Structure 1
Amino acid sequence: MFRLLLLSAVLAVALGQTKFCCTPDQWEGYLGEIAGSVVSGTTHLITGNISISYDYTNTKMATSSYLVIDGKNQDVTVIMDYQKKMMYTIIGTQCTTSQLTGDMMKLCVPDNAMPSGKFTYGAGSTTLDAMAYLVPAGPDSTVYVTTTVGNPCVPIGEVLYGTPNKIPTVQTMGYYNISPGIKDPQIFNPPSSCSGQKFLKPAPVLTNFLMKHMHAKVTKH
């Protein structure tokens, strides 16, 4: 359903330096999101609130997602450990494992982004300077990205629109309560229920919705 979301990003991935900006190497925050598509004449809707812990220094990332998928609640935790090349997906009491290939990629505005200008949130003495970019996301889709000004930069919001795989799709995201550093590194430790679990691929709509934050290649384990 949301195939494109596997290819797009919180911020698009770039290896090494970028001519624009990258997020801090360690940060935590929250993301609110709503995404919809039309498949064979049937509409689909995902709304969600996601906590994100991003640690490029130690090559780890974790999200805890509270989703409503076509009216059904789904809580999902995903932990990615690039040192061990493992991804852990916890849905309810069930844990599945997947093997990661390649290295963790830094979250940056990609070089093919097209700056569309600076603007300001707020008014008077309480303002936030921001920068907007248009980022191609395949031949039929575009992501409108806003970040804080400067380098490193902090994501503010995204709007994705287009027809990936000929499926009309719109997605809006907003980031909030972002703070530098990782408060508790244990957030990257998988629960004991993940030990010895066999790989079981989650439903495609759920996988793609989560995987867009991770930029991982996954193989069976």
Structure 2
Amino acid sequence: MLQGILVLTFVSSAWAGCCMPKQWEGLQSEMGQTVTNGKAAMILVTNAISYDGTNSRISLLVNSTAGSVVTVTRVIQNFNKGTQYNIDLLTNKCTKSKITGSITPACVPDNAVYAQSLYFGGGKNQLPGDTYVWKQKSPTVSVDIALTVSKDGNDCYPVGEVAFGTANDAQLLETVGFMNITKGIRDPSVFTPPPSCKQVPMTDGTFKPSFRFLGL
């Protein structure tokens, strides 16, 4: 029913382009629930993101709670080298795997449809935003996405996102918030793997198709 209501309220219009800066950092907070093989799990994730579109690399500091499992992981993706490092900061174990394709552009995609304009807060502290919607589809992903962005000149900054559907054999509903976004990369060393990763062999990994804005 929720999907049907959303489809009925979307208004189709041309989209002129809406992208974040090429280099930026910020926080991404996720809350949601997945159902896999009939088992439901609550998900709480906070990502400290360093996004470098100029050099096609992403660094994440991921604090995740899925059910009763808590993890703290540093993820480094270098798309120019086709390599992803996962460093478990609780055990200091590093794994290295192959990734394919290119970095996900930090843009509202071309197939997005404008839904509405709104503002957050009230009084003199209003933050205007525009909401866009689209469907993310691949052989293992079918997810509807609604993303609200706030515009600053030629740049767009994500504020909130809702994703629901099926991804990688799990049904999901997630809400995502974006906070404390700044232009540029303060410390480029976040893209450098630690010494514990130097002798780690390359594996094919379990890189799954991404969904949501940024694919993170």
TM-score interval, smaller chain = 0.7 to 0.9
Map of 1:119 onto structure 2: 118
SS in structure 2 at match of 1:101: coil
5+ residue gaps, structure 1 = 1-17, 217-221
Quick check: 2:51–2:58 contact (8 Å CA) kept in 1? yes
Letter in 1 for 2:148: T
SS in structure 2 at match of 1:126: coil
Between the aligned partners of 2:94 and 2:213, the Cα distance in structure 1 is 19
User: Within the alignment, does 1:174 sit opposite 2:171 as a pair?
Assistant: no
Within 5 A, what are the aligned runs for 1:57-76?
57-76=54-73
Q: Which runs of at least 4 in structure 1 moved beyond 4 Å after TM superposition?
A: 164-167, 207-216
Quick check: 2:163–2:212 contact (8 Å CA) kept in 1? no
Letter in 2 for 1:175: F
Identity over aligned residues, as a percent?
31
Shift of 1:35: 2.4
- Over 3 Å counting, the alpha-carbon distance change for 1:167 and 1:195 in structure 2 is closer
Between the aligned partners of 1:165 and 1:54, the Cα distance in structure 2 is 24
Map of 2:22 onto structure 1: 25
Shift of 1:25: 0.4
Within 5 A, what are the aligned runs for 1:61-210?
61-92=58-89, 93-138=92-137, 140-149=142-151, 151-164=154-167, 167-199=170-202
Between the aligned partners of 1:210 and 1:63, the Cα distance in structure 2 is 15
Between the aligned partners of 2:158 and 2:50, the Cα distance in structure 1 is 14
5+ residue gaps, structure 2 = 1-14
Letter in 2 for 1:80: Q
Higher strand share: 2
SS in structure 1 at match of 2:178: strand
Map of 1:12 onto structure 2: none
SS in structure 1 at match of 2:126: strand
Q: Scaled by the length of structure 1, what TM-score is found? A: 0.78
Shift of 1:39: 2.3
Quick check: 1:61–1:214 contact (8 Å CA) kept in 2? no
Between the aligned partners of 2:76 and 2:40, the Cα distance in structure 1 is 30
Q: Which has the higher contact order (CA 8 A, sep 6+)?
A: 1
Letter in 1 for 2:36: V
Between the aligned partners of 2:215 and 2:116, the Cα distance in structure 1 is 27
Quick check: 2:136–2:211 contact (8 Å CA) kept in 1? no
- Aligned pair count? 196
Shift of 1:47: 0.7
Q: Scaled by the length of structure 2, what TM-score is found? A: 0.80
